[in-house]
């Protein structure tokens, strides 16, 4: 196995996004991508093993059980690119099944250096897999990975863990269309999506009993304190998970428990909060299986196969670029 990392700093500008999100009229919001600094990525790893949060286990279970069904549906030579590889643990099953057929290049694409390093150490022992990591935003990384494919190689893009659920539905479809534009007809996308499930189960998944998800959410304010010199009092904000039935999504918010002002020097602003006002930090959309193939169709893919976990409703869909 060979490993290499190709790095490029993301151009995201925390200060500008914080300023825009907290000074906007109406609902204050912060982009969910900022949840994943070094501490946030570690906390997400803990969330993924919590008893209340079955999503990651369902994703991994499907890949473990069905890797040998998925691989024969692909062409003989495949280059694998994974958008947001995380720790890479669940990808192992698929890479092992591919490596049994032939030497394969795997390109994890991550904006989190910590996650990329963890993924590379998790997967570097698999024989016949060469790892080329890209520390870049998804589409930039995918373009770079696609440029490495040989003429006769099918590109298999992995977008697992229901990260698509963190996009608004329209944005999710636009994103799939962008991915499709980088692919050739016949290339494949394996898409993991969390499905609708009973409300108590959903809410517990995003508000666990030992407070890891609360810490994950509050770390965003701690990060703004660390990186922008802000004075958020973490005791004066509370983690809230609520279900929005109109959009079929769980929303995470941070609720101000008092009237207060917060100074954020590096963003050049002072922000006033009313008691009970919230900052919206993340949405997790839940899907129906039929919706996935419809969305795929509108984005230039056809749904070849779908595998569903019954313990924790979750779908793995193999989409082929038309």
132 lies in the binding site for ligand AVI (CB under 6 A): no
Kindly compute the dihedral angle of the four CA atoms of residues 87, 91, 93, 97, in this order, to the nearest 10 degrees. -140
Determine which residue in the list 91, 105, 166, 256 makes contact with ligand AVI, applying CB under 6 A. 166
Kindly compute the dihedral angle of the four CA atoms of residues 42, 44, 46, 48, in this order, to the nearest 10 degrees. -140
CB distance 186 to 75 below 8 Å: yes
165 lies in the binding site for ligand AVI (CB under 6 A): yes
Using the rule CB under 6 A, give the single segment among 73-81, 93-101, 126-134, 155-163 that binds ligand AVI.
155-163
**Residue with Cβ nearer ligand AVI (166 or 299):** 166
Q: How far is the CB of 36 from ligand AVI (least distance, A)?
A: 8
Spatial neighbors of 69 by CB under 8 A, at least 6 apart, are 305, 307
162 lies in the binding site for ligand AVI (CB under 6 A): yes
263 burial (CB, 10 Å; 0-12 / 13-18 / 19+) is: middle
Q: How far is the CB of 20 from ligand AVI (least distance, A)?
A: 22
**Residue with Cβ nearer ligand AVI (33 or 101):** 33
Q: Cα(37)–Cα(320) distance, rounded to whole angstroms?
A: 33
Q: How far is the CB of 313 from ligand AVI (least distance, A)?
A: 13
Determine which residue in the list 175, 206, 273, 307 makes contact with ligand AVI, applying CB under 6 A. 206
For 57, 97, 119, 283, the CA distances from 147, given in Å and listed in that order, are: 32, 24, 22, 32
Q: How far is the CB of 284 from ligand AVI (least distance, A)?
A: 3
Beta strands in the chain (DSSP E): 3-7, 28-29, 78-83, 104-109, 129-135, 154-159, 188-194, 237-244, 249-256, 260-264, 269-273, 278-285, 301-309, 314-321
Tell me which residues in 52-71 interact with ligand AVI (CB under 6 A): 55
3-class secondary-structure state, position 261: strand
Tell me which residues in 28-47 interact with ligand AVI (CB under 6 A): 47
Nearest-CA neighbor of 17 among 235, 276, 272, 281? 281
134 lies in the binding site for ligand AVI (CB under 6 A): no
Using the rule CB under 6 A, give the single segment among 17-25, 121-129, 157-165, 268-276 that binds ligand AVI.
157-165
163 lies in the binding site for ligand AVI (CB under 6 A): yes
314 lies in the binding site for ligand AVI (CB under 6 A): no
Residue ranges binding ligand AVI (CB under 6 A): 47, 55, 161-163, 165-166, 206, 213, 282, 284
């Amino acid at each position: 196995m060979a490993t290499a990392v190709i790095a490029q700093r993301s151009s995201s500008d925390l200060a500008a996004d914080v300023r825009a999100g907290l000074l906007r009229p109406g609902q204050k919001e912060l982009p969910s991508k900022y949840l994943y600094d070094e501490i946030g990525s570690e906390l997400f790893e803990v969330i993924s093993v919590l008893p209340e949060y079955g999503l990651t286990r369902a994703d991994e279970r499907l890949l473990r059980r069905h890797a040998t069904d998925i691989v024969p549906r692909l062409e003989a030579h495949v280059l694998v690119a994974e958008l947001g590889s995380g720790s890479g643990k669940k990808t192992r099953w698929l890479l092992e099944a591919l490596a049994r057929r032939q030497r394969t290049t795997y390109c994890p694409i991550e904006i989190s250096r910590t996650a990329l390093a963890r993924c590379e150490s998790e997967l570097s022992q698999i024989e016949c897999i060469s790892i080329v990591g890209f520390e870049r935003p998804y589409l930039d990384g995918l373009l770079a990975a696609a440029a490495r494919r040989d003429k006769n190689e099918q590109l298999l893009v992995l977008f697992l863990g229901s990260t698509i659920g963190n996009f608004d539905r329209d944005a999710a479809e636009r994103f799939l269309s962008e991915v499709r534009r980088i692919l050739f007809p016949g290339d494949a996308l394996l898409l993991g999506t969390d499905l609708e499930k009973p409300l108590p189960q959903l809410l517990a998944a995003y508000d666990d009993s030992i407070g890891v998800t609360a810490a994950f959410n509050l770390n965003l304010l701690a990060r703004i304190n660390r990186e922008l010199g802000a004075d958020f009092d973490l005791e004066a904000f509370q983690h809230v998970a609520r279900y929005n039935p109109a959009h079929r999504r769980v929303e995470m918010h941070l609720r101000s428990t008092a009237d207060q002002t917060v100074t954020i020097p590096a963003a050049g602003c002072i922000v006033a909060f009313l008691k009970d006002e919230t900052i919206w930090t993340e949405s997790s959309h839940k899907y129906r299986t039929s919706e996935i193939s419809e969305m795929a169709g509108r984005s230039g893919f056809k749904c070849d196969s779908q595998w569903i976990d019954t313990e924790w409703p979750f779908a793995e869909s193999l989409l082929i670029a038309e």
